Structure 1
Amino acid sequence: MSQHILPADPTSTGQGPKSDEWWRSAVVYQVYPRSFADSNGDGIGDLPGITAKLPYLRDLGIDAVWLSPFYPSPQADGGYDVADYRDVHPMYGTLTDAERLIGTAHDLGLRVFIDIVPNHTSDEHPWFQQALAAGPGSPERARYWFVDSDGGPPNNWPSEFGGPAWTQVPDGQWYLHLFDRKQPDLNWENPEVREMFLDTLRFWLDRGVDGFRIDVAHHLIKADGLPDFEGDWDDYVAGCLPTNTAPFADQDRVHEIYRDWRALLDSYPGERAMVAEAWVTPHERLAAYVRSDEFQQAFNFDFLRAAWDATDLRAQIAATLDANSAVGAPTTWVLSNHDVIRHATRLVRANPATAPWVLEAGEPTPDYATGLRRARAATTLMLALPGSAYLYQGEELGLPEVIDLPAHIRQDPAFVRADGQLLGRDGCRVPLPWEKHEVAFGFSPADKSWLPQPEVFGELAVDQQIGQPDSTLELYRTLLRVRRERELGSGALSLVDLGDDIVAVDVATSIGTTLVVVNLGDADWPIPADARVLVATCPDVSDRLPTDHAVWMA
């Protein structure tokens, strides 16, 4: 391609390959076990169901699978309230099923990540039950945050799910829960807590898992004295304040925990890895989690919550790559997961600046056609960016957020604690459609699923898209194939100025240069006559790229 479409001095954001470590450029697919595939007809997904579908994931073109929690749990928060970290909930199967899944994945060339939830346990975990029985001042209570306080909660900390982060027990003490009251926070100042989790990591590493996704990795350490939060909560949630201004988040001493964990992982063969779920700002503070002796990856949530705006997207790409390059780490890109509104809906909301996990009751249903175009374009951009990338189950089908679930079947504690004013996260967790004309769209052999599937899911089922050149599923397969062929995950990126409403990046690898263009403007963008189109989100693209579409060119 001739250089006339490039600026004389493109803004480089560096990032060439540092080594051949697999996790630097891996594409990881998140499975929410409850909603992926049900093998026994109870309407709930399970581990044997996942194992049976692993060939589908291999053929999609991913490198690894991340499983959300499948541990014994009362399911007060979708399994993120763990009662036993070293076993499998009976509704998901058995420990033998988990070992079989790991072995089958490895046979297919896939690695396996599992979720670790270290900030809190379930209130039904034996430790918490022992703490309640033992009483104030006991070693059992010292594993959690039990505090004496007269006249109300010990401080003003809020729960992420609404209301105060403290609950009082009958003997008068209060315990801390940054999430639901059934998820008491562990006290990471206690050596017993630290040793228990090292033992848990060993338990699963010995069973062959390749790595861990660490839930709310930034919350473990609390500031000395548990002082009040002095900032504005709305500004904090919007990411306008440094995360460590909250005394319950991103405290510097949290990093000593992950250095210990990294040393443990490095003692095992096979390049075991960790990814941090850390909603941390600014970029420099997030980059601290991926220093060479801590996490290998940390989700780039600033990119996830960027508006559908060219200036915002360019700024997030440049800032995150620069911050991570300073510590020699890849950036980990993501657009959807089990906690946020699916990006096929989120990117066309009436107020795109609203937090991506907040869906207000009564919010109008966004236009699906526009949302799908933007989602496909956003993914096409993401999968070209150097670093690793995470996909959330069903996004490869173009699934929208299910907004109109009846109140009586919603299960997310965020919905309950907000008295229904916020719809919660159930809408991105509706079970997947596999076959249009089967009961439960092929999710279950019985005609039921734990959340109801809308009729549109039938049209979006796997069997309706596979082999269809213009389908979203085939777009993902093509993107992942070309990404691998052109080594885009380990490329060196430069931002290219092609106009205010265009996001354009140049990715250079040993294969050559790939120009990626996303059109966010109102007018078509003219494709250069000498360009060779590798992948495009619009069918039969030739000389013009319409709005809300993206293209890779050589």
Structure 2
Amino acid sequence: MEKWWQKEVVYQIYPKSFKDSNGDGIGDLQGIIEKLDYFSDLGVTSLWLCPIYASPMDDNGYDISDYYAINPMFGTMEDLDELIKKGKARGIKIIMDLVVNHTSDEHPWFKAAIADPTSKYRNYYIFKHGKDGRAPTNWRSIFGGSVWQKVTEDEYYFHAFSKKQPCLNWENPVLRQEIYQMINWWLDKGIAGFRVDAINFIKKDQRYQDGEPDGEDGLVSCIPFARNQPGIEVFFKELKENTFAKHDCMTISEAYGVSYDKLGIYIGENGCFDSMFDFNYSNFDIGDNEEWFIRKDWTAKQFRDLLFTSQVEVNKVGWVGTFLENHDQPRSLDKLIVNKADHGYYSATMIASMYFFLRGVPYIYQGEELGMANCVRRSIDDFDDISSHGQYQRMLEEGFSESEALALVNKRSRDNSRTPMPFDDSQYAGFSDVEPWLALNESYPVINVKAQFNDLDSVYSFYKKMIYLRQQSVYSNTLTFGSFIPDECENDNLIVYQRSYQGQLIVNVCNFSNQEQPFICAKELILNNYKEYDGKVLKPYQTIMYLEENK
């Protein structure tokens, strides 16, 4: 049965870096309200907001100190109510980020747990005694260093991420009910749904045993012990029954490292969530433990194979959120188009078409619709991103020089996608009237909204065309609900696939190279990022889409 959320086009906002309305250099809710007409012009139908809850901002809001309050740097609850109301008037829904694997160490629950070891809140988190004068296990956190933080001479608390993000104890049913109550409160408030953060970390290996060290620090990645653990489906089932199933909402889970045989836990008829992000094709350039210095060589064909496998396997079970960028990824141009000399309109629009018309709900990350690329930082001190500093230290421990480590951090830093949104070429890019909290991308005088808004040959205008085709054209049903059919063409430089629905067959062709490639097509084109196509040869980074059948 078709669902309303399957028709959405979602725009992801990193609020701190979107638009500053009050002159403090930090983006806020009123700044988002200010730009609602921009979203209407683009054509998106939902806005996903990265966390705006009360937070000390150790990890830019993914460390929540009060689930029921708005961080004053972003505004007030009244501002959010206004955004929901004004968005609804424009047909734009609001999706919140849901972070329930961990809280901030400044959350009242954790403060109470530390202050009184006998309080009920102690069991809201994971506390363990040390072993032989050391931490309970030798697991390494996602951000580097031990997952254990000492609180007394022989007691530690567990954090899969930063030490300021203690993990919640999902084994505790009282804690789970607190979480469900909070989720229902937000859905009753009028938000359309949630993107669910790090949800596959909520179940830990209860044996808490050491692993074989995998680095010079004597530690082992916590991922095999704290992510996608057996039994997590029990938590998911209860979560869904107590919250999402009671509302006509939209949910999408962040689910790194989920094997395709486990998809049914997450999505589909018996899954907890409406859809999920599949990262099996997004982290193709780094190792399985997601350490940036373990680089993988890749070819266009290998990327195509990962992409097609994802589509085929996920579509057997349910729905996926299709994406190239988010707040945790570098810009897709730098990741997919390695030669910076090739960055520009054609390469940006080619990779856009490649992902946007896959089967799933498309997500656009702020600035992606402008063709933004990575920024360049000249010192590790210039990075705000907590994981960039952690990865940098890991690289030094593994023997990389400072310059080598800095180069790798520049390639992969989350700051690449978190630079302030460039609205024009003024001193602070129209983001603010004062110096922003994070340095602007140096490309902003050229790559900005004002430069592209009325230019019919801009990346922005190409995104508008794609959204129109999916949302309002005679091809909408096929591009939304149509089955995905991979085309294993012999030319490894091409990514070709079909979408089929009720007798209508659409073919999407992407030239993933900076050279001309042969491709014969005599059909009338639906979409083309060049002004011409001779029916025989694709130009460098050309993408075309055409109607093959219409029975």
TM-score by length of 2: 0.86
Tell me the equivalent position of 2:389: 416
Partner Cα distance (1:489, 1:252) in 2 = 33
SS at match of 2:510: strand
C-alpha contact 2:24 2:434 (8 A) present in aligned 1? no
Q: Where do 1:220-231 residues align within 5 Å?
A: 220-230=202-212
C-alpha contact 2:197 2:254 (8 A) present in aligned 1? yes
- 1:279 equivalenced with 2:256 (yes/no): yes
- Structure 2 runs not aligned, ≥5 long: 286-297, 394-401
Amino acid across the alignment from 1:159: S
Task: Give the one of 314, 317, 326 matched to 1:324.
Answer: 314
Task: Give the one of 414, 419, 435 matched to 1:430.
Answer: 419
C-alpha contact 1:380 1:479 (8 A) present in aligned 2? yes
Amino acid across the alignment from 1:427: N
Count of equivalent residues: 507
Structure 1 pair 285–98 and aligned structure 2 pair: CA distance change class (3 A) = same
Structure 1 pair 325–346 and aligned structure 2 pair: CA distance change class (3 A) = closer
SS at match of 1:174: strand
- 1:256 equivalenced with 2:234 (yes/no): yes
C-alpha contact 2:348 2:459 (8 A) present in aligned 1? no
Partner Cα distance (2:378, 2:22) in 1 = 25
After superposing on structure 2, the runs of 4+ consecutive aligned residues of structure 1 that deviate more than 6 Å are none
Amino acid across the alignment from 2:88: H
C-alpha contact 2:333 2:372 (8 A) present in aligned 1? yes
Tell me the equivalent position of 1:518: 510
Partner Cα distance (1:537, 1:219) in 2 = 41
Tell me the equivalent position of 1:295: 273
Partner Cα distance (1:469, 1:203) in 2 = 43
Amino acid across the alignment from 2:121: E
Tell me the equivalent position of 2:95: 113
Deviation at residue 530 of structure 1 after TM alignment: 2.0
Task: Give the one of 439, 458, 469 matched to 1:471.
Answer: 458
SS at match of 2:495: strand
Partner Cα distance (2:381, 2:223) in 1 = 38
Amino acid across the alignment from 1:280: G
C-alpha contact 1:73 1:79 (8 A) present in aligned 2? yes
* Identity fraction in percent: 31
Amino acid across the alignment from 1:512: Q
Partner Cα distance (2:164, 2:314) in 1 = 36
Q: Where do 1:519-534 residues align within 5 Å?
A: 519-521=511-513, 523-528=515-520, 530-534=522-526
SS at match of 1:85: strand
- 1:441 equivalenced with 2:423 (yes/no): no
Deviation at residue 388 of structure 1 after TM alignment: 1.2
Report the RMSD for the aligned CA atoms in angstroms: 2.4
Task: Give the one of 522, 530, 545 matched to 1:538.
Answer: 530
Which deviates the most, 515-524 or 93-102? Answer: 515-524
CA deviation digits over 1:322-358, x for unaligned, max 9?
323333x123211110011110111134xxxxxxxxx
C-alpha contact 1:405 1:427 (8 A) present in aligned 2? no
Structure 1 pair 494–415 and aligned structure 2 pair: CA distance change class (3 A) = closer
CA deviation digits over 1:429-475, x for unaligned, max 9?
00001122x3411111x232111214421211111001212211011
Task: Give the one of 41, 44, 50 matched to 1:68.
Answer: 50
Tell me the equivalent position of 1:205: 187
Structure 1 pair 57–404 and aligned structure 2 pair: CA distance change class (3 A) = same
Partner Cα distance (1:25, 1:316) in 2 = 25
Task: Give the one of 369, 375, 379 matched to 1:396.
Answer: 369
- 1:494 equivalenced with 2:485 (yes/no): yes
SS at match of 1:456: coil
Deviation at residue 275 of structure 1 after TM alignment: 0.6
- Structure 1 runs not aligned, ≥5 long: 1-18, 235-242, 350-365
CA deviation digits over 1:491-529, x for unaligned, max 9?
122122432322111112348321111123564234545
C-alpha contact 1:32 1:68 (8 A) present in aligned 2? yes
Deviation at residue 372 of structure 1 after TM alignment: 6.0
